[in-house]
Amino acid sequence: MISRRMLVAGLAAAIGAGALAITLGHNTSGTTAQNGAAGSSVAKELSDSSIQTGEAWAPYVTQVVLDRKRPKEGDGRGDEFFFNLSSGPYSGVIVSADGLILICDTILGDFVGVEHGGKNRFIRHIYVTLGDGRTFEAQVAGRNRGSDLAMLKIFANGLPFVDMAATRAPKRGETLSLVTRSMNGLRHGLKSGICSAEQREVGKAFQLDARVGACDLGGLVIGQDGKPVGIVSNLESRLVGQASGVAYASRLDAINTAYTSLLAGEFTTPPPAPFLGVQSAKAFANKPGLKVSSVVPGSGAAIAGIVENDLLLEAEEQPLNDTDDLIKAIHSKKVGETIKLKVRRGEDADPFEVIATLRSRD
Amino acid sequence: MRGASSQSVCASVLLVTFISLFCCPAVLAESRLEKLQAEYRALYSKVSPSIVAVAREPYEELESRGGQAVLMSQAAAISGFVVEGGYVITYAESFSMGVGPGSDPRAVLDGLKELYAITADGKSHKCSVVGHDIRNLLLVLKLPADVKLPALKLGDSRLAKIGSTVAAFGNSFDCFIVDHQPSFAVGSLADFYRFELDDLHDEADEFGDPYRGNVFEVESTVNPGDYGGPLVNLDGEVIGMLTAHYHPGRQLGTAVPSSQFCMSFDALVSKKLLSKPNIGFWIKNMKKGKQRDPSITRIDSGSAAEAAGLKAGDVVMMVDGYAVDNRTELHDILSMDYETFESEQTGGDVEPPVTVKRIKSYGLPPGAVMTFTVRRGEQLLSIALTVGVRKESAPEEKTEPTDPKEGGE
């Protein structure tokens, strides 16, 4: 350990010397500007606080590099979506002292074989670089597709780690910082934004407005109080790469079961989510009822005969006060099961019962 | 009456107490926000007189066409900024591109003799071209002797910290030409890196970027027309020049760090030759099973590699996160000097396909910071290396012939 530290210190000194070797020939009084005390300037105070957040959390964030061969025409890999997005590098968060690294599952893709030791024809090696320059070859130690998180394992001890199981829920409007280590293993990156929505993807994620790109996947999101609130994931795959100002981060407080199974080294592909196939909106201010605005052709709702402008009053004999009630009712079931709905068609008509089969989205 | 009056006095005292108890924090908060805005305005006032728009034609020509795009896709002019000595720093690629495939940007820039620097009042100043360094995307102009514009101080970008507040100034979508004022955007410094090298071998890939230096990534906006504008810190010192180069997986604006282009700027204004890059290691392929890993056999004393802490025996695994398989690949990735490659263009029904010369690399600028990941014994280490300056007597590239046998030196 000591020799390793000395080595790192030596490296730092050498890097410093390298930087000094270049003389600029300019007055560089900028030292105080960037490093000095906040003084009475509000702008500098905010700037310094942002610098400090980044520096405080940078040691917990790693770079994740997938060493893979680019697809060639005709080898069937051209469709792999992430090659179209970006090939990284990405970030990861250290979640245990003995080298468990939490990442976004999307970056591993659908490659069969990743589960068996982390190597295959397409991903030859996975490298994890820590802020101090130590680099490790990692193995895939768990995947949870449903929460879009995966776990890597490196052989290291005594690492600083984040207790992701103890993260709290973010609040809407809260200012957030996103700490990454993707493009440069030896330096961290920092983006900022606010929490735009506390619950997306049935509560598994929250939305933030930082301009997140594919390389930010696996970045650590820090709340206003300087504590972690989540990790950037790709639960809505349309968003990343669009510069849409919309990004999702997984809420570890809401997906504790998935996180626990990842810590235990499990590889899980979730059952497909049940899908009814209606779009609806609250119809009245103070009484139950959802007005159907569209029905997906071929969906369970369409087959059961639900049409546009129908009023959904109850699901499983519970009143539907808003769309969340319907989503909850659907998600309490599995694909293939049925859901009982009370429907009214026309102003003065009597309500009638509809039994729809829940299918998978595809 | 008296009672009513004392009641109202009481009420107003209560009201005042209420206001001071509950509203003061709000008033304070507002003044803090106002202070912040005043600080930003002060920064704008300090920096904006040094901003110019840069174009091939004078203001009247551009204005008569209503700012119709001629240079980059969506702006008729780009940006520049005045530094000490009456020099203007601006962005070279806007003037080296779009002159047909196969042309050497350096030759195009050599042919450029004068450009116009346009100030916010609509005056055009015919500037002579001092020189260029395409490796840094840098073009330097000289204002006429009688034109005195306030200069910006060139800061040291190596001291700029990630997360610090920065401001970008420029001619976003010709706002300078059309509305006589530079655009001003505030954001934070988000990252510092080199572009991904993954696309290097995919000749058809349009994202392959010939720029081999570092970029600052900034959260403030960078739009067409802003290229060449300064990125300044809160003291108004230049820490970067805004560029059109960005990474498809990142989404933010970028700037060339000042510490990287300052060396070339100094050389250009003092009419010296541009320094060539130096790394200073010797490489040969080490055979290991089917693999041939590029291994460092020797480090030159006084070189960038030595200063970085690279050692003989280190096996190079990655450069800036891009996996290296053998010596040839390492050579490709480093691409120290200006390099082109031939690429077949098979667009539409063109028969036979046309071969075009494309630029693989503008060359590695001295001062750029690279990350080498090496295997040293059982350990993997990532090491930052600042590209040094090649001594003129030293030979260029140092690689030894491949040794088919396994083993060291």
pLDDT in tens, B123-165: 999 999 999 999 999 999 999 999 999 999 999 999 999 999 9
Q: How many domains does chain A have?
A: 2
Report whether pLDDT(B189) > 60: yes
A96 and A70 inside one domain: yes
- A27 interaction partners in chain B (CB closer than 8 Å): 153
Residue entry with tokens 């079961």:
A257
A195 and A227 inside one domain: yes
Domain-located, residue A18:
no
- B383 interaction partners in chain A (CB closer than 8 Å): 11, 15, 133
Mark which of A270, A304, A333 sits at the end of a domain. A270
DSSP bridge partners of A192: A177
A293: containing domain: 274-360
pTM higher than 0.80, yes or no? no
DSSP conformation class of A329: H
User: What is the pLDDT, as a whole number, of residue A182?
Assistant: 86
User: What is the pLDDT, as a whole number, of residue B346?
Assistant: 62
DSSP assignments along A147-185, one per residue: GTEEEEE-S--S-----GGGPPPP-TT-EEEEEE-SS-T
Interval B254-272 mean pLDDT: 95
| Environment class of B380 (CB within 10 Å of its CB; exposed 0-12, middle 13-18, buried 19+) | buried
pLDDT band (50, 70, 90) for residue B265:
very high
The partner residue sitting opposite B321, judged by closest CB among A28, A35, A89, is A89
Residue B291 sits at φ, ψ, to 5 deg, of -85, 150
Domain-located, residue A5:
no
The partner residue sitting opposite A41, judged by closest CB among B39, B250, B304, is B39
The alpha-carbon radius of gyration of chain A (Å, integer) is 25
Do the beta carbons of residue B139 and residue B110 sit within 8 Å? no
Report whether pLDDT(B19) > 80: no
The partner residue sitting opposite B249, judged by closest CB among A24, A26, A213, is A213
User: What is the pLDDT, as a whole number, of residue B180?
Assistant: 85
Which has the minimum average pLDDT: A103-107, B25-29, B39-43?
B25-29
- B279 interaction partners in chain A (CB closer than 8 Å): none
A248 and A285 inside one domain: no
User: What is the pLDDT, as a whole number, of residue B391?
Assistant: 82
Report whether pLDDT(B63) > 60: yes
CATH number at residue A54: 2.40.10.120
Q: At what angle do helices A42-57 and B24-47 cross, to 10 degrees?
A: 90
Q: What's at B281, amino acid-wise?
A: F
Q: What is the largest CA-CA distance in chain A?
A: 86
Interval B281-291 mean pLDDT: 82
- Chain A residue with minimal CA distance to B196? A183
- Chain A residue with minimal CA distance to B218? A191
B277-389: CATH class: mainly beta
Token pair belonging to B40 = 């930003």
Q: Is B267 on the interface with A (CB under 8 A)?
A: no
A255 and A278 inside one domain: no
Name residues 42-61 of chain A within 8 A of B (Cβ): 42-44, 46-48, 50-55
Residue A208 sits at φ, ψ, to 5 deg, of -130, 155
pLDDT band (50, 70, 90) for residue B351:
low
Alpha helices in B255-370 (DSSP H): 258-269, 304-308, 327-334
pLDDT band (50, 70, 90) for residue B247:
low
User: What is the pLDDT, as a whole number, of residue B278?
Assistant: 93
A95 and A156 inside one domain: yes
A186 and A250 inside one domain: yes
Find the Cα–Cα–Cα–Cα dihedral B125, B126, B130, B135, rounded to 10°. 80
Name residues 210-229 of chain A within 8 A of B (Cβ): 211-216
A81 and A157 inside one domain: yes
Rounded-to-integer distance, Cα A159 and Cα A239, Å: 33
Q: Is B270 on the interface with A (CB under 8 A)?
A: no
pLDDT (tens digit per residue) in B74-99: 578 899 999 999 999 999 988 887 66
Mark which of A251, A270, A289 sits at the end of a domain. A270
Distance from CA of B366 to the nearest CA of A (A): 9
A243 and A333 inside one domain: no
Cβ within 8 Å, pair A184-B193: yes
Domain-located, residue A26:
no
Tell me the HSE value of B222 on the side-chain side, using a 13 A CA sphere. 28
Cα–Cα distances (Å) from B38 to A194, B45, B187, B221, B339, in that order, read 24, 10, 16, 21, 48
Cβ within 8 Å, pair B321-A46: no
User: What is the pLDDT, as a whole number, of residue B248?
Assistant: 59
Rounded-to-integer distance, Cα A308 and Cα A230, Å: 38
- A51 interaction partners in chain B (CB closer than 8 Å): 161-164
pLDDT (tens digit per residue) in B300-331: 999 999 999 999 999 999 998 888 888 888 88
- B388 interaction partners in chain A (CB closer than 8 Å): 18, 21-22
User: Among residues A215, A220, A217, which one has the least CA distance to residue A231?
Assistant: A220
Domain spans of chain B?
48-269, 277-389
Residue A210 sits at φ, ψ, to 5 deg, of -65, 145
Q: Is A64 on the interface with B (CB under 8 A)?
A: no
Rounded-to-integer distance, Cα B87 and Cα B127, Å: 9
Rounded-to-integer distance, Cα A54 and Cα A272, Å: 38
How many CB pairs below 8 A link A and B?
223
A240 and A302 inside one domain: no
Do the beta carbons of residue B249 and residue B77 sit within 8 Å? no
Domain-located, residue A297:
yes
pLDDT in tens, chain A (362 residues): 334 333 333 433 333 333 333 333 333 333 334 433 444 899 999 999 999 999 999 999 999 988 765 555 444 444 443 443 445 689 999 999 999 999 998 888 765 444 444 445 567 788 999 999 999 999 888 888 888 899 999 999 999 999 988 888 889 999 999 999 988 899 999 999 999 888 877 778 888 888 887 788 899 999 999 999 999 988 765 555 444 556 788 888 778 888 888 888 887 766 677 889 998 888 888 888 999 999 988 899 999 999 999 999 999 999 999 888 898 888 888 888 899 999 999 888 899 999 999 987 76
Name residues 47-106 of chain B within 8 A of A (Cβ): none
Token pair belonging to A217 = 């996947």
ipTM of this predicted complex? 0.83
User: What is the pLDDT, as a whole number, of residue B135?
Assistant: 95
CATH entry 2.40.10.120 includes domain B48-269:
yes
Angle CA(B373)–CA(B375)–CA(B378) in degrees, nearest 5?
140
Domain-located, residue A350:
yes
Q: What's at A104, amino acid-wise?
A: C
- A126 interaction partners in chain B (CB closer than 8 Å): none
Token pair belonging to B27 = 């008033």
A302 and A196 inside one domain: no
Cβ within 8 Å, pair B251-A15: no
User: What is the pLDDT, as a whole number, of residue A134?
Assistant: 96
Domain-located, residue A55:
yes
Q: Is A189 on the interface with B (CB under 8 A)?
A: yes
Interval B60-70 mean pLDDT: 66
Mark which of A243, A270, A297 sits at the end of a domain. A270
Q: Higher pLDDT residue, A331 or B403? A: A331
User: What is the pLDDT, as a whole number, of residue A111?
Assistant: 54
A76 and A152 inside one domain: yes
| Environment class of A298 (CB within 10 Å of its CB; exposed 0-12, middle 13-18, buried 19+) | exposed
- B381 interaction partners in chain A (CB closer than 8 Å): 7, 11, 133-135
DSSP conformation class of B399: B
What are the b/e assignments for A279-291, b being 16+ CB within 10 Å?
A: ebeebeeeebbbe
pLDDT (tens digit per residue) in B205-242: 444 678 899 999 998 878 888 999 999 999 999 999 99
Rounded-to-integer distance, Cα A353 and Cα A342, Å: 5
User: What is the pLDDT, as a whole number, of residue B29?
Assistant: 59
